[in-house]
Structure 1
């Protein structure tokens, strides 16, 4: 169990609402759907109503600093079945990257690979008290697009399992290109934090507002243990669970 999963949840009951494609750039086709993830014909581009309101505020702040720029949404709501699929997919990809075979892994090898995977992927949990962040509709993976419509270079792709994904990986690097990567990551973080979001400690692209990870980070930053999560596991069809 990760530390943030001990935070109590008092779900506020907000519905999941679609992210408007006329306001935000949505990655199409969706990367996980293209891999065969079981979305059951549902769109992943949903957020809790209050989270979407905050995202609109973040984009407004971005456009005040960079006219013509906007957010590109890579992923948002993620059902548990998709979380399970992607954890397994990432695990197998890391096994193959080492030149190993999944069928012949030793227990030590399996643990080594899984230790890397869980730095970036929450394990799927059927327990309502420990929902993966994306299953709450309060977390999203996001990057920036410039005023030409080009995706801004952040120095590593979303979901890369490597140290380059850490938010400050390029901090204090002398290379001008790497300085640009860090400046872009900093800009994204600044506008999201200004709207109330918190960034995942390991991932430059992952932000949440109101879930357990957000509440845990608020407690750490503010020194106040009264912060609770107000978004638990959700469903597009059934609403809050």
Structure 2
């Protein structure tokens, strides 16, 4: 269990609503659907209504500083089955990257790989008290694109399992490119925080508002335990097409 999973959930019951295609850049085709992730008839480009409203506010803030730039949504809502699929997929990728065979792993090797994976991926818990952040509809993976829809250099791809994914990885680097990358990550964080989001400690691209991780971070910032999670695991009856 991660520390943030001890935060109580008091779900507001807000619906999951579609992220509007005409307001944000959405990665197409969706990267996890291409891999065969089992979404069924649920769209990955959905968020709780209050979270989407805040995302719109964040984009307004971005465009006030960089006219024409947009937030590009890589991923948002994940059914629990998709979270499980992606954790298993990432685990196997990391095994193969080490030149190991999945069927021949020792217990120590398995533990070592999984310890690295869970730095970036939440365990797909079936317990409603400990939902993965993306399964609440309150977390979103995003990057930036210019007014010409060109990707902004963020230093590493989304979902990369490496130290480069840590938000401040490039902060102390002296090269012009590294400093530009850090400036882009800082800009993204600033506009998201201005709308109430908080960034994942290990991932420059992951932001949440109202889930357990967000509440835990707000508690750490303020020293107050008054912050609760507003969103638990999203159920089918919250879905708005």
SS in 2 for 1:188: helix
Question: Residues 121-140 of structure 1 correspond to what in structure 2 (within 5 A)?
Answer: 121-140=121-140
The corresponding residue for 2:26 is 26
Question: Residues 90-101 of structure 1 correspond to what in structure 2 (within 5 A)?
Answer: 90-101=90-101
1:192 & 1:223 partners in 2: Cα distance? 22
Question: Residues 104-115 of structure 1 correspond to what in structure 2 (within 5 A)?
Answer: 104-115=104-115
The corresponding residue for 1:142 is 142
1:133 & 1:51 partners in 2: Cα distance? 13
Runs of 4+ more than 2 Å apart: none
Question: Residues 175-190 of structure 1 correspond to what in structure 2 (within 5 A)?
Answer: 175-190=175-190
The corresponding residue for 1:238 is 237
Displacement of 1:188: 0.1
Displacement of 1:148: 1.4
Alignment partner of 1:117 is 2:117: yes
Displacement of 1:238: 1.8
2:152 & 2:41 partners in 1: Cα distance? 30
1:238 & 1:126 partners in 2: Cα distance? 18
2:33 & 2:171 partners in 1: Cα distance? 33
1:34 & 1:104 partners in 2: Cα distance? 28
The corresponding residue for 2:70 is 70
Displacement of 1:71: 0.5
TM (norm. structure 2) is: 0.98
1:144 & 1:76 partners in 2: Cα distance? 15
SS in 2 for 1:143: strand
Count of residues paired in the alignment? 239
SS in 2 for 1:238: helix
1:16 & 1:163 partners in 2: Cα distance? 33
TM (norm. structure 1) is: 0.98
The corresponding residue for 2:204 is 204
The corresponding residue for 1:51 is 51
The corresponding residue for 1:36 is 36
1:90 & 1:172 partners in 2: Cα distance? 29
SS in 2 for 1:140: strand
Displacement of 1:42: 2.3
SS in 2 for 1:201: coil
Displacement of 1:41: 3.3
Any idea what the Cα deviations from partners look like across 1:160-202, whole Å, max 9, x if unmatched?
Answer: 0000000000002100001011000000000000000000000
RMSD (CA atoms): 0.8
Displacement of 1:147: 1.5
Which structure 2 residue ranges, 5 or more long, are not aligned? Answer: none
Which structure 1 residue ranges, 5 or more long, are not aligned? Answer: none
SS in 2 for 1:34: helix
SS in 2 for 1:47: strand
1:222 & 1:66 partners in 2: Cα distance? 31
